[in-house]
Structure 1
Amino acid sequence: MNIHTFEFIPLNWMDLTQQLSQLDRFDAKWQAIERREQKALKELKSIATVRSIGASTRIEGSQLSDTEVEVLIRNLDISKLSDRDQQEVAGYYDALNIISESYRDISVAESSIKHLHNILMKHSSKDAYHKGNYKINSNRVERTESNGQKTVIFETTAPGFATQDVMEQLISWYNNDSSTHPLIRAAVFVYDFLSIHPFQDGNGRLSRLLTTLLLMKSGYVWIEYVSFEHEIEHRKKEYYKSLMDAQRNRPGEDVTQWVTFFLDCLKNIQHQLLEKLKAKEKREALGVREIQIYSLIENNPGISSGEIAARLNIPVSSVKRILSDLVAMRNLIVHGAGRGTSYSISVTDQVKHDLTIRLTNEDKVKQFTLQQVGSFIRIKKIILVPLFDWQHPDEWNKRLLRNGLVITINAKTSEGVKYSQPYTILGFNDPSYYQPVFLVNPNIVLPEQFSKNIGKVNYPILCSVELSGSVDVFEFDVLLIIDEG
């Protein structure tokens, strides 16, 4: 199907429908949550504001941490904003506040977008000549190589009448398309805005502000209590790849990958918001001793029950009972067994669900690092993407057998201890499956998978997933669906 000037061809329409329904069903609960959790939401909004500003400005090169951002916006003094990073933070803070307070009254129009850009750039004298106005010079997107040379990633729309025309077309389409789901419509708007790059500078930051505006105007007001920008920062490589893969084929490109990424980000942060509210309810139910133990573990991940008892002067038997209760409430996670048992805080608010690791002929190895106690990767589904047309399972089944595809999990601990375990993809296939989509049962979970074999592991742990087979060139791309925490 076509949306605006783009192609949109989901791999599975049923999955897309279910994902949109899940995101929409949440809104039905949100009014009750707002009434019940007013105090908690005020705190979450404050946290989300800091994280959003910090993440969105860091994506564009700022060096300020969330802590530094928080201090800055609490003590905002325009006369002292001489540093560009501080100017960008102040501008983003002002624009985000305007959207939060007045989103109902802000129309999706050129005048509104230019006004938001003016607010975003107002603290920077360097940007005075172009703030609030479309670009007058080319602003192609480039990458700086290690030798200092610049490589053009994609060409943006030419300045002048060309930018004016396509922005008018984009806004007209958005305001008149009543058949496209609002979430997909928002994703496509943001994609085209970034591709046009209508302003001389600030397009990336403004695109994320417009995301919040479009979502809130469409009724997804919960977005201001969790940071969409932080999710993008966490998945920055995936963010740029999904944009660039489509933009290289302008005009008339396929934006399916970008829309899928956009919706997945929303699903993740929606889940994070619910988990944060649940975690707060659980913490509020804790007694004095429980709070003491929880706080000690939070500041000392990997601590044992004996150490807790000694430091808090609480009988070991009482500590173990409280720990058991906290684990049952899912506030804590347990590592090891017996005398080697230790505890850390559950990071459910940071868990990323249904992420994708893509392995191809050109990119057969993916590396990642488990930084600290509690970090994990859970591989739960394998999706084969046949690089050929097929109508019957036998057509991909036989080729899978011929390709002999294997994923190998490799790990190396901080002490140099190595682990490697191969998994034959064919082993997860079920003859009754029509689609080449395999459930990994039981899930492959790192580091638990290799800690069983090498005992206690020390962090950080360098891991990789490698695709190999019995042929040199595979007839499939392999998608691994994972949870990450």
Structure 2
Amino acid sequence: MKTETIQITPEILALIAEIDEFKGAWRALGTLAPERLNALRRIATIESIGSSTRIEGSKLTDHEVEHLLADLDIKRFSSRDEQEVVGYAEVMETILHAWADIPITENHIRQLHRDLLRHSEKDERHRGDYKSVRNDVAAFDASGRMIGIVFETASPFDTPRRMQELLAWLTEARELARLHPLLTIAVFIVAFLAIHPFQDGNGRLSRVLTTLLMLQAGYAWVPYSSLENVIETSKEAYYLALHQTQGTLRSDSPDWQPWLVFFLRAVQQQKRRLAAKVEREKNAVAVLPELAVKILDYVRDHGRVTTRDMVREVGASPNTLKTLFASLVQKGLLVRHGGGRSTWYSLP
């Protein structure tokens, strides 16, 4: 991998500095109540799953994704979109809970691919296996007819060797730390997509691996904001940057700039979105009346709360409490259950 041709421009330096400053500040920013952090992570996870699968052609909205994942007792999924969403969700769950214990090896990448396509019936024969036929990136017209090859990926014959070389490079780059971790991650992802090692699912897997590598590099805030959603909203720029860099990777002077700048700008946007959300959450909590804070403290201690509980605890009137409970539900700080006299509330 000819990374010696990477030029560290002032823009790249500024982007890395801004992202790393947030990395250091996350402990202070992440002092929200656990239930609010959990809510932020759940929203980001839904966005990531929805966006990453839509980038590859899925039609499911975030609301449909959330509804589907809330009812996973279903044993069979009615469409390819649903199969891909559930597979992506399960792999993301694995990454978020076990990222520290997943080494980046061929076997583990194959296992992640197998899990990613676990529910995809059309991919049953090649889950976890490198491609057996070419899968060059093609362009299609409005009618769906292929009009040409945009990018030639690695041949099936070359794929195992190139994956071994890429993973050896990653191991050495992380051990020697010659590149900043963000640049190492960006180089790995663009090279992985240039190889396109699996018959299908490479784009989705690349975004899973990005999250895994970011967490392992110490960017603990990543699960609370969706990089996939940033990419979806700038999909044309995403493909253009990939194409511009990938077309030079086998040359003597690879042009890393288009992809590195896109990747760092996307992470910057991911970070800024999270910072804005955290600030809104803090402001919302800061203006809560004292009685609302007492309600939230009570439900944290007891797991649930009713109007009668708070009448007994603080002596407030039922009408005042009813209005306050409705406000806390609207702000997303409580969830309402039941109705009438059986109404009770819990944390999100």
Question: What is the deviation of 1:285?
Answer: 3.7
Q: Are residue 56 (structure 1) and residue 55 (structure 2) matched?
A: no
Q: Which amino acid aligns with 2:122?
A: K
How far apart, CA to CA, are the structure 2 residues paired with 1:218 and 1:25? 14
Cα distance in structure 1, aligned partners of 2:237 and 2:17: 24
Corresponding residue number in structure 1 for 2:198? 199
* Partner residue, 1:275: 276
Task: Encode CA deviations 1:293-327: one digit per residue, 9 max, x unaligned.
Answer: xxxxxxxxxxxxxxxxxxxxxxxxxxxxxxxxxxx
Structure 1 residue 40 and structure 2 residue 36: aligned?
yes
Contact in 1 for aligned 2:138/2:147 (Cα 8 Å): yes
- The whole-number CA distance in structure 1 between the counterparts of 2:214 and 2:111 is 19
- Quote the Cα distance in structure 2 between the aligned partners of 1:142 and 1:250: 18
Residue 121 of structure 1: which of 117, 121, 124 is its match? 117
What's the % identity of the aligned pairs? 39
Q: Is the 8 A contact 1:9 1:254 kept in 2?
A: no
Aligned counterpart, 1:243: 242
2:150 and 2:93 mapped to 1: Cα distance?
A: 33
Match of 2:156 in 1: 159
SS at match of 1:229: helix
- Confirm or deny: 8 A CA contact 1:95 1:120 kept in the other structure: yes
Q: CA deviation at 1:196?
A: 0.4
Task: Quote the Cα distance in structure 2 between the aligned partners of 1:80 and 1:19.
Answer: 44
| Cα shift readout 1:205-235 (whole Å, capped 9, x = no counterpart) | 0000000000000001211100000000000
Deviation, structure 1 residue 78: 4.4
User: In 2, distance between residues paired with 1:248 and 1:176?
Assistant: 24
Residue in 2 aligned with 1:385?
A: none
- Pair 108,33 (structure 1): closer, same or farther in 2 beyond 3 Å: same
Aligned to 2:186: 187
Distance 1:60 1:14 in 2: 33
Conserved 8 A contact 1:145-1:151: no
Q: How big is the shift at 1:20?
A: 1.2
State the shift of 1:124 in Å: 1.4
Unaligned runs of 5+ in 2: 290-348
Distance in 2, matches of 1:143 and 1:75, equals 36
Distance of 2:287 and 2:35 partners within structure 1? 18
Contact 2:191 2:246 in 1 (8 A): no
Identify the residue that residue 81 of structure 2 maps to in structure 1: 85
State the shift of 1:24 in Å: 1.2
Question: How many Å apart are 1:35 and its aligned residue?
Answer: 4.2
Q: After superposing the two structures, state which structure 1 stretch, 241-250 or 43-52, moved more.
A: 241-250
1:80 aligns to what SS in structure 2? coil
1:446-457 aligned at under 5 Å gives the runs none
Aligned pairs for 1:2-401 (under 5 A) are 2-3=2-3, 7-10=5-8, 13-146=9-142, 148-160=145-157, 162-177=158-173, 178-252=177-251, 253-286=254-287
Letter in 2 for 1:237: E
1:174-200 CA-to-partner distances (Å, cap 9, x unmatched) read 111121100000001000011100000
**Residue 128 (structure 1) shift:** 1.0
RMSD of equivalent CA atoms? 1.7
Q: For 1:346-398, what per-residue CA distance to the aligned partner results, in whole angstroms no more than 9, with x for missing partners? A: xxxxxxxxxxxxxxxxxxxxxxxxxxxxxxxxxxxxxxxxxxxxxxxxxxxxx
Contact 2:41 2:223 in 1 (8 A): yes
CA distance in 1 between counterparts of 2:107 and 2:39 reads: 33
Q: Secondary structure at the match of 1:143?
A: strand
Which of the two has higher C-alpha Rg? 1
The total of aligned residue pairs comes to 283
TM-score (norm 2): 0.78
Distance 2:150 2:139 in 1: 7
| Structure holding more strand per residue | 1
Partner amino acid, structure 2, of 1:153: V
Deviations 1:83-126 (A, max 9, x none): 10000000000000000000000001111110100010000122
143-152 or 174-183, which deviates more: 143-152
**More helix by proportion, 1 or 2?**
2
Match of 1:51, SS state, is helix
Read off the aligned partner of 1:207 and give its amino acid letter.
S
Counterpart residue type for residue 147 of structure 2? K
Structure 1 residues without counterparts, runs of 5 or longer: 289-485
Residues in 2 aligned to 1:99 and 1:71: alpha-carbon distance in whole angstroms: 22
TM-score by length of 1: 0.56
Per-residue CA shift, 1:34-66, capped at 9, x if unaligned? 344422211100000100000000000000000
Conservation of the 8 A alpha-carbon contact between 2:32 and 2:282: no
Query: For residue 64 of structure 2, what is the amino acid of its counterpart?
Result: E
One-letter amino acid of the counterpart of residue 122, structure 1: R
Closer/same/farther in 2, CA of residues 34 and 197 from structure 1, 3 Å limit: same
Question: Contact 1:95 / 1:119 at 8 angstroms: preserved in 2?
Answer: yes
**Taking CA–CA contacts closer than 8 Å with sequence separation of 6 or more, which of the two structures ends up with the larger relative contact order?**
2
Q: What is the CA–CA distance in structure 1 between the aligned matches of 2:189 and 2:11, rounded to whole Å?
A: 22
Is 148-157 or 112-121 further displaced after alignment?
148-157
